[in-house]
Amino acid sequence: MEYLPLLIQLISGALGGNVAGSLLKNLSLGTLGNSIAGIVGGGIGGQILEQVFHTAVAGGALDPVSIITQIIGGGAGGGILMAIIGAIRGAVAK
């Protein structure tokens, strides 16, 4: 049960990375690259958002607000990190 929030964040991050990659074709890292960047970004983004809103402490891992916060934080973190890595990769390639 204690790893459920992290698992939600990682899965959401992978999805967020791939959605961002499909929307931002020029920054895409490919499916595997988007997923890896998304997983890392999802874990980081989800943890940051969880600390800001204190959802894990206040409501527990299965509280609906906590789950929504983890999904949003993971997805956004995954998409943002994928875009950052894609931009850096594009700048280095020039």
Give this prediction's pTM: 0.86
pLDDT tens-digit profile of 46-66? 888 878 877 555 555 578 888
- Short-list 61, 64, 66, 18, CA closest to 41: 18
pLDDT tens-digit profile of 6-60? 899 999 999 999 999 999 999 999 999 999 999 999 999 988 887 887 755 555 5
Cα–Cα distances (Å) from 6 to 12, 29, 50, in that order, read 10, 23, 10
